[in-house]
A and B are shown apart, each in its own frame.
Chain A
Amino acid sequence: MSDSEMGSSPEPAEPFLSVRPKNPGKPSGLLRNMSAKLASIPMILTTMVVFVGGTIWTVVYSFTSSKLLPKLNFVGLDQYERLWSTRRWLISIENLAIYGFFSMIFTLVIGFTLAALLDRKIRGENIFRTIFLYPFALSFVVTGLAWQWILNPDLGVQNVVRSMGWESFTFNPLNDPDIVIYGILIAGLWQGTGLIMVIMLAGLRGIDEEIWKAARVDGIGTVKTYIRIVIPMMRPVFVTALVLIASGIIKIYDLVVAQTNGGPGIASEVPAKYVINYMFRAQNLGQGFAASTMMLLSVIIILIPWAYLEFGGKKRG
């Protein structure tokens, strides 16, 4: 892969997601960074063949009427027209928006709070950390199953509270179309926040002790120090966490299948489930590909402006 092949894209002034740009040595043509280029071949192949190639393949076939097998019989925008006139798809999008918004905020807040609490020289740090992290060891299928049980009105929380004397207590999210998505949110947060906590903790431990000393000398309060100084310093950590959470949100599927299977009715459907159901259950590959193209498009629409802001953004450090 030579530099000229890389086209006219100029060397970015500021790397897209990093804090500090690094420019070791001076550019001297093709051989510059030869080892780095060789070492990046697996990455380049993965991006070009699997992600770009696979995506183009998917987009192309979304314009066809492929059923069980991919076939190139083009039907124009038919699949997209049908997609956007399907109620189930619209409900899926709405659910994803609600789930995504709350999941993003709560995961970041809870993850960071727990990490900050654990970082305060407490007793039993190991025990707490293990308890917070273990749900991540269990698959979404299991998570869904366990929470389906706990939220079951006749077996779980509602039943227990009622049997303690509070007869009118009602907490039955999984059978109420209006709030079922929050029932899934509870389970999703349970499974995913632990990992974010660990990543935050790794970030916090990377903060220089001197920062804390300086803050104390200046008389800045603990909470203020976190918000004003520590969090801005942990920017790369937050970026990692954000990508991790967001990609998990977009792909949410197994959890819903295990916990509610989209029910009651179609009240907890999500886009990835629509894609998979139409690809494999309904054997309408074209429709599934159209839906996944829309998902990908929305990701790109969100990521590109962000990337643009990063490129033109202010210098930091």
Chain B
Amino acid sequence: MKKITQLMASAAFLGATAVNATELEVTHWWTSGGEAAAVAEFAKAFDATGNTWVDGAIAGSGGTARPIIISRILGGDPMGATQLNHGRQAEELIEAGLMTDLTELAEAQGWKDLVNPPSLLDACTFEGRIYCVPVNIHSGQWIWLSHGAFEKAGLSVPANWDEFVAAAPKLQEAGITPLAMGQQGWQQNLAFGTITIAIAGVDAWREVSVNRNADTAAGPEYTAVFEAVANARELAKGSNVQDWNLATNLVITDQAGGQIMGDWAQGEFQVAGQVAGQDYTCLPGLGVNEVLDTGGDAFYFPVIDDADTKAAQMALASTLIAPETQVAFNLKKGSLPVRGDIDMSAANDCMQKGLQILADGNVLPSGDMNLTADTQTQIEDLMAEFWSSEMSASDAQARYVDIIASAE
């Protein structure tokens, strides 16, 4: 019976809009080939409701798009819907009453029971009300290993971080850079976070990143982390690239042993025609602690005082989270779906590993939900400097402790 009410409710939402076809401008920063193909799935599904998706794509990731999105909202002429990292980023816009409350729709469709892990919906919730639709899950805790590189050095492919570190000298002898690393703060920070979870463990990580406990950050677990990162810095010497995908390319072409990068890297392997398990191996959580964070993308709906637009916004929101759209979108995007009740058997080896971890509930909230963008930027700056200089592990740790201590 409950199911039927739900269906009726969503049908009512969809039905209301089918009568008045409305153009809805949607802003996002998905512009690469795979991403655009994934967005096209959204647009197709939305157009099928009788409305029209007006695409407002802006390349250059959140840093370029964010001032544009916020200006549009402040300027009083907002877009109909916009991609925005969920978590703490949008809180102020919600507080200022600029974002549409989706609670009614969410309750009607039972998002609470569908969305897995539940933390995704928590990130969309502000003071008990729901303001965004999570559309996918991306995780950062992966290392991607080149089979060719290890073969060249006469080694078997490592199964975890420790084996990788042990194999590094042999790789260097064979003229291979052990660790590919793009020289950008966010990539170095991502590697730092991933190594932290592998070395210090989930509890210490949670204590620092979620509870902002500076004492733990100054403690022995984190000392070990910074020493491991200093060691990784040595392993990455000689990888002179900037962009993450160029670093991935070093792994694809066997010039580097491995790269610590999020699950979006597998798109690069796919484009290069490589097969998971055959040409490359992916190890979630560096093969040590098989946990993944649950970052991802979400859509927000700025308040627009127009009944038709509002109806179209609701139609889009329910389209984004509908089972068929979720499957079609995430297969193209290479990310994991936000609901656990759908069939993802078409996904590849690495995605299946991720799905399994998700099903087992070994998930962590992502950095966006824990630390403010301000704190994250400070950590990125620290990491950028640390990786490119001879700064000692203890100095870096001391500065890291300062940042955590002053984090809000």
Check whether chain A touches chain B (CB < 8 angstroms). yes
Known: A68-B89, A280-B63, A282-B377. A265 touches B242 (CB 8 A): no
* B65 closest partner in A (C-beta): A280
**Residues on the B chain within 8 Å of A16, using CB:** none
Task: Give the segment of A95-103, A122-130, A256-264 that binds chain B.
Answer: A256-264
Query: In the bound complex, do residue A263 and residue B374 qualify as a contact, i.e. CB atoms below 8 Å apart?
Result: no
> CA of A262 to CA of B385 in the docked complex: distance in angstroms?
10
Query: In the bound complex, do residue A177 and residue B374 qualify as a contact, i.e. CB atoms below 8 Å apart?
Result: no
A205 interface hit (Cβ, 8 Å): no
Count of A-B contacts judged by CB separation below 8 Å: 77
Could you mark each residue 264-281 of chain A with 1 if its beta carbon is under 8 Å from any beta carbon of chain B, else 0? 111100000000011111
Number of interface residues of B (CB under 8 A): 29
Query: In the bound complex, do residue A261 and residue B67 qualify as a contact, i.e. CB atoms below 8 Å apart?
Result: no
Known: A262-B384, A263-B184, A266-B381. A283 touches B389 (CB 8 A): no
Of A69, A154, A261, the residue contacting B240 (CB under 8 A) is: A154
B332 interface hit (Cβ, 8 Å): no
* A283 closest partner in B (C-beta): B373
**Residues on the A chain within 8 Å of B96, using CB:** 69
Query: In the bound complex, do residue A279 and residue B242 qualify as a contact, i.e. CB atoms below 8 Å apart?
Result: no
Known: A175-B240, A261-B184, A263-B183. A287 touches B387 (CB 8 A): no
A248 interface hit (Cβ, 8 Å): no
Q: Shortest Cβ distance from B157 into chain A, in angstroms?
A: 27
Query: In the bound complex, do residue A153 and residue B381 qualify as a contact, i.e. CB atoms below 8 Å apart?
Result: no
* A65 closest partner in B (C-beta): B408
> CA of A67 to CA of B92 in the docked complex: distance in angstroms?
8
A87 interface hit (Cβ, 8 Å): yes
**Residues on the A chain within 8 Å of B63, using CB:** 277, 280-281
A interface residues, Cβ below 8 angstroms from B: 67-69, 86-88, 153-154, 172, 175, 177, 260-267, 277-284, 287
B interface residues, Cβ below 8 angstroms from A: 62-63, 66-67, 70, 74, 89, 91-93, 96, 183-185, 240, 242, 372-374, 376-378, 381, 384-389
Given contacts A88-B381, A280-B63, A284-B373, 16 further A-B contacts (CB under 8 A): A67-B374, A68-B89, A68-B92, A69-B92, A69-B93, A87-B381, A172-B240, A177-B388, A265-B388, A266-B385, A277-B377, A282-B373, A282-B374, A282-B377, A283-B372, A284-B377
3 closest residue pairs by CB, A with B:
A265-B388, A282-B377, A264-B388
